[in-house]
Amino acid sequence: MTSHTEAGSCSCAHCPTQVSFELPERLIEAFIAGNVVIFAGAGMSTETRRVLPTTFYEEILSGITAENATGFAEVMTSFCATRGRSELLLRLRRRFDLIDSFPELRGPATSFHRELSTVHLVQDIVTTNWDSYFERHCGALPIVTDLDFAFWSLPVRKVYKIHGSINNVGTIVATEEDYRKCYRRLRDGVLGASLKLMLATKTLVFVGYSLRDDDFNRIYNYLKRDMGELLPRSYLVTLSDRPRDNGFQQLTTIQTDGTFFITCVKKRLVELGIMLPDRLLDEVDESHETIRNQHRHMHEEFPLATYPDLIYAASYQDGLMHALQRMVTRCSTGYYSHRCNVEAVMREYKVLYEQALSAENYWDAAYLRGYAVGLSFLLVGDEQRKQLPVYFVFGSDKELVTVEDFRRELDRAASLHTQAHEEALRLVQGAESGTELYHPPHFGPWA
């Protein structure tokens, strides 16, 4: 195991690439405004030597004899001419399957996607990569064909896969002819026209490319040619040297690793109070497991026949657990990392709670109260998070954190809220001994 030492002397695979850089304030402002589009290349995915010792290009190159084939598309064309396109796609599929089979390979291949996932302010991603990591790890809706573009206005994160997808092998762009068709389609088709319209008001950040990258040069030259003066401010995040070519005057180079760049952007957004730190989401799963155990023990310790108001505590805990469950399952969309989103949906749950209370629908009211408290997990301070009320009794004005707190209030539930108690008696009538109560997640302003 390699240990991390003083800056600049660590020999692990990651630290040497984490080059310090100055984060432009204008770029942070673009992130805050939701105006950043990420352009992602293969260097942020499967084609880094931290994943496999050879790239897909090198693997295919070793299988051909054409001396003049050096560019990516030329090599793929030459391979297809002798071995067939099916063999090329089969090798690509096997490569992705190999990477996905082992955490040691999948981890570095998806580190950028996982780091980007919680940045809710980034809703549009364009990639030349064929893998499905943005869909899996960022919750992005894939836009691959012109027909898919009918859904471009949906208010969800999207990834525009201009070179196709491994999940739709007929769309893969690899050979010279594929590239000609692709850029003709971008120039004349619906996808290209809509993409240019969207990009005209955005700030572009290219990651996973170098200045010598065929894909980067094709894309950048295409955008320059077709958008002209409308080409938006662009940044290239790369470890390679700054451009000397006059063709890159509108391009600002940031010399560092792409994943480290996103880490630094997130740190700044957290400092500004716009984004919640990832560590909170890391704590959610552990807290959910703790509450689940308390839920089970509560049913074991308090018989329903003796404590009918247990039905509300159980419903409350279901709401609490469902809120935490949803944070875990939806964290890749970035929704729960954006403070404003969490505050807004929590307000909606509080309104629904008051409405259910007014309607004397106590079972649902308890659930809604629990869900709202679960959402507050991300918003309160560290000490308050440790004292989150896990139990609930109608009419009690106390924060019920421990089982002892709960027992004291449950013993006097009938006097604390007579109507809720009478409704509890009706609801549990006929329930068998040992029944574990459950409130399904059938309603709510789901985020």
175-187 pLDDT, tens digit per residue, is 999 999 999 988 8
112's tokens: 């950028």
pLDDT value, residue 17 = 79
Beta carbons of 125 and 158 less than 8 angstroms apart: yes
pLDDT value, residue 10 = 55
Q: Which domains does the chain have, with CATH numbers?
A: 18-271 (3.40.50.1220), 279-427 (no CATH)
> How many Å apart are CA 365 and CA 349, to the nearest integer?
10
Q: Residue written as tokens 């012109």?
A: 146
Beta carbons of 21 and 256 less than 8 angstroms apart: yes
**Amino acid found at 309:** D
CB atoms within 10 A of CB 379: 14
Rg (CA), the chain: 27
Residue 161, phi-psi category: left (phi > 0), alpha (psi -120 to 50), beta (remainder) = beta
User: Which among 195, 212, 213 has a CA at the least distance from the CA of 204?
Assistant: 195
Beta carbons of 368 and 352 less than 8 angstroms apart: yes
238-261 pLDDT, tens digit per residue, is 987 665 565 676 789 999 999 999
Give the up-direction half-sphere exposure of residue 416: CA atoms within 13 A in the CB hemisphere.
15
pLDDT value, residue 207 = 96
pLDDT value, residue 327 = 95
> How many Å apart are CA 436 and CA 442, to the nearest integer?
18
Name residues of the chain where pLDDT drops below 70: 1-15, 241-247, 249, 444-447
